[in-house]
């Protein structure tokens, strides 16, 4: 009983609310439309057109329970109403999937991902780091959940060869301004580029730039929104530290971003607009989010919209040759002992490998299905891959996208 209460409360605190009705409705759509869709789709092979490949994924939360099993766990106390120690999350996970041999090594949490990196060899690896990296004790008042990873555990980010962490999310300031400053220092000190948070508004808004020999640059802008739980008070303003806060999805906001991007973009650059947006659960894409994504591509010369915040992957669209990942899901976290939203399969996620041609159009989008289990990223089991395939095809229908599952249990996107 107590565990049910704890689990329910924790799920609620992470922003969850069930919208299972929508799932059921979507699942009853006619299969005939799917067959029709197939015949209109075109396969976009990468042969001869590969120029640059990006790896993107959703939320990577290496704080709290994950931090606790790494070589340098931080202090375990929490300020959550139903959980007073991070060890509670480790205990819940171990109760479900068995004991962990602790400490794990830094690469452990990435599980099967490095083998995929080795196989696909993306030029740039970008994640949304959904935690502060700090020992600060200044928990943000009035916030139910506070994530932090000990700075000495930062090798777990570099162990996966991550080039860039986007930070404009609802956890980077969980441990106050000292916590934010330390997060920025530790990540930069480890050679990781950051975007979306800074010591002042100019630094928070500045893109991360990754130069690639002979392939131009990847320029990453990161934005956080209230729809994903980023408090307005976290907006960097003048000399005040904070996140690159996107106040709304208006044309005016898109056009202001367009001015900034046009000033920064050089010929041959690939521009990523990484946005923490939308609710934690559900598949419906609000019209304003879709219109905003289109405007970023049409008016701001954005090459890929990297959306995240939903605890599960969402639909994919390709607009004028530019991909929009509406929600990339949770790639790594300590939630596996928490129940309450199983119908969304938040244990499942995707590694997104986006290959662009020399003109900056999407040439190929391959995905590797994954599952969080035992605090690590695993290749998804067969049933999980099939579940994701069905979901992507169901949710992609309004956007004329679908996936083919290829024999190695990875997906290739088809689009019109
Ligand atoms: Zn978030």
Please give the chain's pLDDT, 416 residues, in tens: 334 333 433 433 343 322 222 222 333 333 333 333 333 333 444 444 579 999 999 999 999 999 999 999 999 999 988 889 989 999 999 999 999 999 999 999 999 999 999 999 999 999 999 999 999 999 999 999 999 999 999 999 999 999 999 999 999 999 999 999 999 999 999 999 999 999 999 999 999 999 998 899 999 999 999 999 999 999 999 999 999 999 999 999 999 999 999 999 999 999 999 999 999 999 999 999 999 999 999 999 999 999 999 999 999 999 999 999 999 999 999 999 888 898 999 999 999 999 999 999 999 999 999 999 999 999 999 999 999 999 999 999 999 999 999 988 999 999 98
Structure tokens belonging to residue 71? 């070589």
Q: How much distance in Å is there from the Cα of 198 to the middle of ligand 1? A: 18
**Residue 408's pLDDT is what?**
87
Going along the chain from its start, the domains and CATH numbers come out as 2-415 (3.60.21.10)
Q: How much distance in Å is there from the Cα of 246 to the middle of ligand 1? A: 14
**Residue 416's pLDDT is what?**
82
Question: Please, are residues 172 and 147 in contact by the beta-carbon 8 Å criterion?
Answer: no
Structure tokens belonging to residue 331? 């790639």
Q: How much distance in Å is there from the Cα of 288 to the middle of ligand 1? A: 19
Structure tokens belonging to residue 243? 């996140």
Q: How much distance in Å is there from the Cα of 43 to the middle of ligand 1? A: 33
CA distances (Å), origin 194, targets 129, 145, 176, 228: 10, 23, 18, 19
How far is 56 from 161, CA to CA, in rounded Å? 13
How far is 313 from 114, CA to CA, in rounded Å? 21
Q: How much distance in Å is there from the Cα of 57 to the middle of ligand 1? A: 13
Structure tokens belonging to residue 65? 């329970």
Structure tokens belonging to residue 176? 């106050």
Q: How much distance in Å is there from the Cα of 63 to the middle of ligand 1? A: 13
**Which residues are CB-contacts of 123 (< 8 A; sequence separation ≥ 6)?**
52, 53, 54, 212, 215, 218
Q: How much distance in Å is there from the Cα of 82 to the middle of ligand 1? A: 20
Q: Which of 411, 400, 221 is nearest to 320 (CA)?
A: 400
Q: How much distance in Å is there from the Cα of 170 to the middle of ligand 1? A: 5
Ordered DSSP codes for 293-341: HHHHHHHH--SEEEEE-SSSB--EEEETTEEEES-B-EEE-SGGG--S-
Q: How much distance in Å is there from the Cα of 277 to the middle of ligand 1? A: 8
Q: How much distance in Å is there from the Cα of 148 to the middle of ligand 1? A: 13
Question: Please, are residues 204 and 255 in contact by the beta-carbon 8 Å criterion?
Answer: no
Structure tokens belonging to residue 410? 């990875």
Q: How much distance in Å is there from the Cα of 406 to the middle of ligand 1? A: 31
Q: How many CB atoms sit inside 10 A of residue 77's CB?
A: 11
Q: How much distance in Å is there from the Cα of 165 to the middle of ligand 1? A: 14
**Residue 356's pLDDT is what?**
97
Q: How much distance in Å is there from the Cα of 140 to the middle of ligand 1? A: 15
Q: How much distance in Å is there from the Cα of 260 to the middle of ligand 1? A: 25
Q: How much distance in Å is there from the Cα of 357 to the middle of ligand 1? A: 31
Q: How much distance in Å is there from the Cα of 312 to the middle of ligand 1? A: 12
């Amino acid at each position: 009983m107590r565990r049910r209460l704890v689990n329910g409360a924790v799920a609620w605190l992470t922003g969850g609310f069930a919208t299972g009705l929508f799932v059921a409705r979507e699942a009853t759509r006619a299969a005939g439309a799917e067959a029709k869709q197939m015949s209109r789709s075109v396969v976009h092979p990468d042969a001869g057109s590969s120029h640059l490949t990006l790896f993107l994924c959703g939320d990577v939360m290496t704080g709290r329970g994950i931090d606790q099993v790494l070589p340098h766990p931080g202090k375990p106390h929490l300020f959550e109403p139903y959980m007073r120690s991070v060890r509670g999350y480790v205990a819940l996970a171990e109760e479900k999937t068995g004991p962990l041999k602790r400490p794990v090594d830094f690469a452990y949490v990435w599980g099967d991902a490095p083998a995929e990196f080795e196989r696909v060899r993306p030029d740039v690896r970008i994640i949304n780091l959904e935690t502060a990296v700090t020992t600060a004790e200044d928990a943000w008042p009035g916030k139910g959940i506070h994530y932090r990873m000990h700075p000495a555990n930062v090798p777990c980010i570099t162990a996966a060869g991550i080039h860039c962490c986007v930070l404009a999310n609802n956890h980077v300031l969980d441990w106050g301004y000292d916590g934010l400053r330390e997060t920025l220092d530790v990540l930069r000190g480890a050679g990781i580029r950051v975007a979306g948070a800074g010591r002042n508004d100019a630094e928070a808004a500045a893109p991360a730039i990754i130069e690639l020999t002979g392939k131009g640059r990847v320029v990453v802008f990161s934005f956080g929104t209230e729809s994903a739980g980023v408090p307005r008070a976290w907006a960097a303003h003048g000399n005040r530290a904070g996140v690159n806060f996107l106040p709304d999805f208006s044309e005016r906001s898109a056009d202001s971003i367009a001015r900034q991007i046009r000033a920064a973009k050089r010929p041959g650059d690939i521009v990523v607009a990484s946005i923490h947006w939308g609710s934690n659960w559900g598949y419906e894409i609000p019209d304003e989010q879709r219109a905003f994504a289109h405007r970023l591509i049409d008016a701001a010369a954005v090459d890929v919209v990297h959306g995240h915040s939903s605890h599960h992957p969402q639909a994919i669209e390709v607009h004028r040759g530019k991909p929009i990942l509406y929600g990339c899901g949770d790639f790594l976290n300590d939630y596996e002992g928490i129940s309450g939203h199983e119908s969304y399969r938040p244990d499942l996620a995707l590694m997104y490998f986006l290959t662009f041609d020399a003109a900056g159009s999407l040439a190929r989008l391959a995905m590797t299905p994954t599952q969080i289990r035992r605090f690590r990223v695993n290749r998804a089991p067969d049933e999980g891959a099939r579940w994701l395939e069905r979901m992507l095809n169901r949710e992609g229908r309004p956007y004329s996208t679908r996936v083919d599952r290829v024999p190695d249990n990875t997906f290739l996107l088809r689009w019109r």
